[in-house]
Structures are given as structure tokens and as C-alpha cells.
Copies of this chain bind each other. A is one copy, B any other.
Amino acid sequence: MDQVNLKKLAKELNLAVSTVSRALRDSHEISPQTKERVRELALKLGFQPNPHASSLRQNKSKTIAVIIPEIENNFFSQVINGIESVTPSKGYHVLIYLTHEDYNKERDILQLLRNGRVDGIMISVSNSTTNTDHIDAWRQAGIPLVLFDRTCEELDVPNIMTNDAEMAFKATEHLLKRGCKQIAFLGMAGNLSISNRRKAGYLSALEKYKVAAPPQIVELATKDYTNREILNELFRRQPRPDGVFAAIEKFAVNTYEVCKELNLHIPREVKVISFSNLQAAALFDPALSTIIQPAYDIGREAANILFKIIEKKMLMPYEKRMILPSQLMERASTAINSERL
């Protein structure tokens, strides 16, 4: 046995295991002198309590899980960064799980974690998730849970998101003010509340500005290949959209690709704006106008709220449904024809 544990410390110091444990946890019922002796030896031997023994006894893991659809996406990376900005100070560890936009994986992961491995989870649901029973079951089990970005607002759990509808409205309005008459909305297939919020914002802008052309809602998937085919068709059809509002970055990229293919000039023939957290959007040809989500803040706030729940503190009403504002960054892809950005 080369691992140093409480028993070894106790024997070395001629103390009981319980005394050593208490001393290290700074219990009031241990004399300062004893504490000092214990601490000194613990430091010298580099003692570190076995986390599994602690977790078993105390029934908490000091670990949370973050469940996201994908990781090759700046938004989720930034969220993780935000989460990680609070976890170390809480002495917590972060497990990452990827659903790859697969409902079954998502359900299985939640099932897998219902054994005390984590003290709570933060989840952004996959776009193939239509049934939320697995999440509701988790909620009912009383294990701390926070949803972010891809939320399920019908469930009574904290939801942290951005002002999707409002920004979708502004994005559409922006295109309209730039002269677009025929704006297409590129949204995620599925029935995510986030998609619906963005779609609603798009529709309400069209309505408010009494746009003659009917709304053009295109549902895309996560496969680039088919997306490009669909967009190719969209841009060949008459009337051709002169404005594109992409609900997610990938669709904007696909739009750029197809426009290049079809020799459609952005922004002269087609203006493009998109939700995106890509730093490099400013370097695109042309620079892409974006709606930037406060991803880092979403991660940080979601983590803070999760810890409040874990620590059994009361949540303020605004923490149960927190909305952090996005920012519209106007760039060349939505410039009016004469304009130079």
C-alpha cells in the first residue's frame, strides 16, 4: 500500500482515524495543536482524500455533467468555457457528453447518469428530441438540472437562453430595411423551442412590415450535403430569395457555399445574416453579419444557477427563466448595394 490514507496518517500520529478526518475538515472539536500536527503531516505526505470514499459516504460526487449535441461549434465551446469559469472555485468537476443530435443517445446518457455519478446536469437538447419525458423523469427524480439555449420551456426547470425571438425579429427587420423583399428563413428541422422562437421572430417581422411575399421557411438538417442541395434548389427557384436569415451558423456557411457555386453575389443579389458565435465571421468574404449569443455568459449563469440548486438555495424568479441578450453585428453581408463596409 503506497497510497497515503487517513489510516496511515492516524497511525503515524498516534491518533484515531476520526480525529484525523475531523482535523483535516477543520472541525471545531479538534484542538488547534492537533489540527496543526495533522495538517503538517498530511501536507508532508501529500495526502489527498479518496474521492470515491467521500462521495460514497456523503452521497455527493462533486461532479456535474454537461450534455450537448456537438462540440465542434463555437457556441458550445464558449458555453463550456463559461461553465468552467465557475466550477473550479466550487471544487467541482465537469463531465462532457455529446449526443450528436441523437435523441436516443441523449436519453441513454441521462439514464446512465441517474446513479449518483453527478450532482446535477446542464443540458442543451438535441434537435431530434421531440419527447421530453427523459428530462421530466430526471426533474421528477429531484436531481438538479438546468437547460440552456436548446431549452424545453414547457418543463418546470430553469431555462437559460437568449432573446431569440427578439433578435430574429431584428435580423429580419434588418434585412427588410436593407431592401430585401423576399427573405428566406433557414431553420433547424425538428420541433425545438429555440427554432420556434426564432421562426416566430422572423414571422412577426414580416407581419409587422406587411411584406407582400409569403414567408419562406426552409428546414435544414445537419448534413452539409443535403443542405447544399436544398439551398441550390431554393436559389434557382423563382422568386429567388434576396435575403437569408440563417438560424444557425452552419446554414450561413452553406448559403455562402451555394451562392459562390451559383455565382450569386453577396450582398448585392442575396443578403445574409445569421446566428453565429464565430469570431472569424468578420473575415468572411464578405464579412458575415451575425447575431452573437452571449455564450460564455449563458454557460456561467447556467452553472451558477445549477450550483444554487445543488446547494439548495432558493432561486429568484428571474433565475428560473433567464434571458441574456444577444448582439446584432452588422457587417458586409447585409450592406446595401452602394454601401461599403
Q: Does A116 contact B (CB under 8 A)?
A: yes
- The closest CB in chain B to the CB of A51 belongs to B117
Q: Does A48 contact B (CB under 8 A)?
A: yes
A72–B97 alpha-carbon span in the complex (Å): 17
The answer to whether B253 and A116 have CB atoms under 8 Å apart is no
**Stretch of A6-14, A25-33, A128-136, A276-284 lying at the B interface:** A276-284
Q: Does A96 contact B (CB under 8 A)?
A: yes
Q: Does A285 contact B (CB under 8 A)?
A: yes
The answer to whether A52 and B48 have CB atoms under 8 Å apart is no
Q: Does A55 contact B (CB under 8 A)?
A: yes
- The closest CB in chain B to the CB of A284 belongs to B283
Q: Does A287 contact B (CB under 8 A)?
A: yes
Contact with B along A244-269 (1 / 0, CB 8 A): 00000000010011000000000000
Most buried by B among A77, A78, A253: A77
The answer to whether A80 and B84 have CB atoms under 8 Å apart is no
Give the A interface residue count (CB, 8 A): 44
**Other CB < 8 Å A-B pairs besides A73-B77, A253-B283, A285-B287, 5 of them?**
A50-B56, A50-B116, A70-B81, A93-B117, A256-B283
Q: Does A61 contact B (CB under 8 A)?
A: yes
Q: Does A114 contact B (CB under 8 A)?
A: yes
Q: Does A200 contact B (CB under 8 A)?
A: no
Instruction: Show the binding face of A for B, using Cβ within 8 Å.
Output: 3, 48-53, 55-56, 61, 63, 70-74, 77-78, 80-81, 84, 93-98, 112, 114-117, 253, 256-257, 278-281, 283-287
Most buried by B among A94, A114, A283: A283
Decide if the interface of chain A is mainly helix, strand, loop or mixed. Answer: mixed
On chain B, the residues within 8 Å of A256 by CB distance are: 283
The answer to whether A71 and B77 have CB atoms under 8 Å apart is yes
- The closest CB in chain B to the CB of A282 belongs to B257
On chain B, the residues within 8 Å of A80 by CB distance are: 71, 96
On chain B, the residues within 8 Å of A257 by CB distance are: 283
The answer to whether B53 and A114 have CB atoms under 8 Å apart is no
A284–B39 alpha-carbon span in the complex (Å): 57
On chain B, the residues within 8 Å of A53 by CB distance are: 52, 56
A286–B97 alpha-carbon span in the complex (Å): 36
A78–B116 alpha-carbon span in the complex (Å): 29
Most buried by B among A49, A95, A114, A280: A280
Task: Provide a sorted-by-A list of 10 A–B residue pairs whose CB atoms are within 8 angstroms.
Answer: A50-B115, A50-B116, A51-B115, A56-B56, A63-B95, A70-B81, A72-B77, A256-B283, A280-B284, A284-B285
On chain B, the residues within 8 Å of A72 by CB distance are: 74, 77-78, 81
